[in-house]
Amino acid sequence: MSKAQQRLSQVQSHLASSEADIPRGRETILQKSPDDVVATCALRTPLTRGGKGGFKDTAGADLLAHAFQSLLSRSHIDPNLVEDISVGNVLAPGAGATEFRAAALVAGFPETTAVKALNRQCSSGLQACVDIANAIRCGMIEIGVGAGVESMSSQYGPGAVSEFSELLDNHQEAKNCKVPMGALSEQVASDRKITREVQDAFAARSFQRAEAAQKAGKFDEEIAPMKVKWIDPKTEEEKEIIVDKDDGIRAGMTVEGLGKIKPAFKKDGSIHAGNASQVSDGAAAVLLMKRSTAERLGQTIVGKFVCSSVVGVKPLLMGIGPWKAIPVALEKAGIGKEEVDVWEINEAFASQCVWCVKELGLDEAKVNPNGGAIAFGHPLGCTGARQVSTLFNELGRTRKKVGVTSMCVGTGMGMAAVWVKE
């Protein structure tokens, strides 16, 4: 063997040895690096029933301002250090860009803190967090806030979707983007043979888990109580109340009770108000920075962002988004589904969530262990950010490490993210 061949053999041996020494899977993402993008505070307001609950008379921007103020108070971060804020929203005109900039100023951020609003339907809150994380990772900013908010009490309704032009209406797949989600979910339930009994069992479990979690105080740590003005619908008297709990959680919910509710979208359908996500109001916020920055500033690290995925599916199959997005996120993270401790998957409808969990082969005990959107609500732009605080809270309480958040997205998309508890 020539000297050149010997040297090549040595190099190949060293490379093989190095590759063998590289940790794989869960071990890899549990390692700590100064460049990790970490969260040092993640919180939310309570979630309240749209048009009926504690926030029915409170503007979405006010909910957001309170989430911002609570984030600053709990984290003790100097607001002058926060360079950018990204806010997810679905229903406000222009995604709320103008009033959310104003909300940041009211909350105590200086004019030097930039603010943007974005709308990627039900994943808007997660997209906001991911945008900030990626801006930190690439060096565009050092510290930022990902947030989400929705006042469905004031802005939910037919006006939320624009009329399609003739060009869009004449393209069948494009036209499918405006088919109502309830109708889509009925079709998924029918095509995938997800019976009403199965959906109601899933929904009942969500309510029961949420009721038990609320009674045990499991949500208290992630919730920032808020004092608001509230008009009594019976007397029309304006009162000042403190909202400190999710008010959509119904006690004593059973499969039998859900079985008495009439279908919402088809006379002989399987989807109804009890096995679909609630119309709700709420806001959430997550403070993000590099690990090295957090350590330098003495910030307490809650957890870290690992990676995310976003995918497209057929518009008529909107609900299967998590089924497609989750494997992509796991692949990016280099882990398998068995290495995930907790899954927070948005319960837009029991039909689609049941199907995704089953097709992915997930352990149901790990999916939404404290209930989900069916039980306590889905303020559209808020949910993706809300899931982060709920996930970290549960991972910390149970002393677990790896979690995934995910949701289906209107018009046919899915999104997912992998997180690690500190």
* Candidate list 41, 66, 122, 353, residue with the active-site label: 122
Instruction: Give the pair of three-digit tokens for residue 261.
Output: 């509710």
- 307: annotated active-site residue: no
Sign of CA dihedral 160, 223, 124, 83: positive
Give the residues across from 38 on adjacent strands: 289, 304
* Candidate list 41, 66, 307, 378, residue with the active-site label: 378
Instruction: Give the pair of three-digit tokens for residue 356.
Output: 């995704």
Angle between helices 124-137 and 383-398 (to 10 degrees): 70
Cα distance between residue 96 and residue 80, in whole Å: 23
Angle between helices 60-75 and 97-107 (to 10 degrees): 40
Q: Which H/E stretch holds residue 326?
A: helix 321-333
- 378: annotated active-site residue: yes
Instruction: Give the pair of three-digit tokens for residue 361.
Output: 């082969």
Give the residues across from 288 on adjacent strands: 39, 144
- Cα–Cα nearest to 277, from 212, 346, 229: 346
- 122: annotated active-site residue: yes
Number of H helices, E strands in the chain: 16, 12
- 269 φ, ψ to 5°? -80, 180
The overall longest dimension of the chain from CA atoms, in Å, is 96
Report, as residue numbers or ranges, the catalytic residues. Answer: 122, 378, 408
